[in-house]
């Protein structure tokens, strides 16, 4: 395939930095570009999925929306890694806590992702592949989060195929018991595609709601909590 790809309109690989930060929401990508980056250029808006490249403390970095869910976001992960030669994708997103001790606005770093998605079924036969992020990037993000004084948890995340999930309570209980920290919707796809191309990936989350306490974020608190996640991702983004 040549570039531009069907879903990203950048005409040259040079328009996109080696590392791309990817929130689900394209308007959050715009917000990050406008508030955290300097000398910003937009490289895509195909299907309203905005992407920008700019500089964070002199470091060149891109930010682009991924959309919601594994099948849609995997289109962007594939095109960025395979056709635009991107080295690293850092997913930054919201997640629902599944553990009592993981509170609203805490940070979660994914060490692996599980899913009910069947997207890898034709790749590994009867083996249930465990998609994982890049260890060195994860380690660096953990250390940086400690330096910044953030409340951070590391562990497995559930990449759900459904936001409105009528999950059997017994299944939820087992996921909790076996230490799954939170639910989001894309990391299983991201970590798989990164491995496919020998590239790097990381998942950084802000807890926006709790499936344990049934609380959810208030709009006024959301921005400062999200700022921690964005700062962490920008600080550790490899150039």
Task: Give catalytic residue positions.
Answer: 209
Stretch that binds ligand ADE, among 14-22, 123-131, 177-185, 227-235 (CB under 6 A): 177-185
Spatial contact of 10 and 51, defined as CB atoms under 8 Å apart: yes
Our CB check for ligand ADE shows the closer of 106 and 184 to be 184
Least distance to ligand ADE, CB of residue 218, Å: 14
Residue nearest to ligand ADE (CB): 96
CA distance 196 to 199: 8
Q: DSSP per residue over 102-156, as a string?
A: --TT-EEEEEEEE-S--TTTTTSTT--------HHHHHHHHHHHHHTT--EEEEE
Q: Is 209 annotated as a binding residue?
A: yes
Our CB check for ligand ADE shows the closer of 196 and 222 to be 222
Our CB check for ligand ADE shows the closer of 152 and 206 to be 206
Stretch that binds ligand ADE, among 11-19, 101-109, 116-124, 182-190 (CB under 6 A): 182-190
Does residue number 95 form part of the binding site for ligand ADE (CB under 6 A)? yes
In the block, tokens 């959309």 appear at 67
Residue 96: how many other CB atoms lie within 10 Å: 21
Is the four-CA dihedral 239, 137, 146, 63 of positive or negative sign? positive
Does residue number 26 form part of the binding site for ligand ADE (CB under 6 A)? no
Does residue number 80 form part of the binding site for ligand ADE (CB under 6 A)? no
What are the phi and psi torsion angles at 102 (to 5°)?
A: -100, 110
Q: Is 58 annotated as a binding residue?
A: no
Q: Is 173 annotated as a binding residue?
A: no
Which ranges constitute the DSSP H helices of the chain? 26-36, 70-82, 135-147, 169-177, 187-196, 219-236
Q: Is 60 annotated as a binding residue?
A: no
Q: Which residues bind ligand ADE (CB under 6 A)?
A: 94-96, 160, 163, 183-185, 208-209
């Amino acid at each position: 395939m040549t570039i531009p790809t069907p879903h990203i309109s950048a005409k040259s690989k040079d328009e996109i930095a080696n590392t791309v930060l990817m929130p689900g929401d394209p308007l959050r990508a715009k917000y990050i570009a406008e508030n955290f980056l300097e000398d910003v250029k937009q490289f895509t808006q195909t299907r309203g999925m905005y992407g920008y490249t700019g500089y964070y403390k002199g470091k060149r970095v891109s930010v682009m929306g991924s959309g919601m869910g594994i099948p849609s976001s995997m289109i962007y992960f594939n095109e960025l890694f395979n056709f635009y030669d991107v080295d690293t994708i850092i997913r930054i997103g919201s997640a629902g806590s599944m553990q009592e001790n993981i509170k609203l606005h805490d940070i979660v770093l994914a060490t692996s992702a599980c899913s009910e998605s069947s997207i890898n079924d034709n790749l590994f036969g009867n083996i249930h592949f465990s998609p994982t992020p890049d260890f060195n990037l994860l380690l660096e993000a953990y250390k940086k989060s400690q330096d910044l004084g953030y409340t951070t948890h590391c562990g497995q995340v559930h990449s759900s195929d459904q936001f409105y999930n009528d999950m059997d309570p017994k299944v939820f209980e087992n996921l909790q018991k076996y230490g799954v920290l939170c639910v989001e919707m894309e990391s299983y796809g991201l970590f798989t595609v990164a491995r496919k191309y020998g590239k790097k990936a990381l998942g950084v989350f802000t807890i926006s709601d709790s499936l344990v306490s049934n609380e959810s974020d208030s709009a006024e608190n959301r921005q400062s909590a999200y700022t921690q996640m964005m700062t962490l991702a920008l600080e550790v983004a490899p150039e």
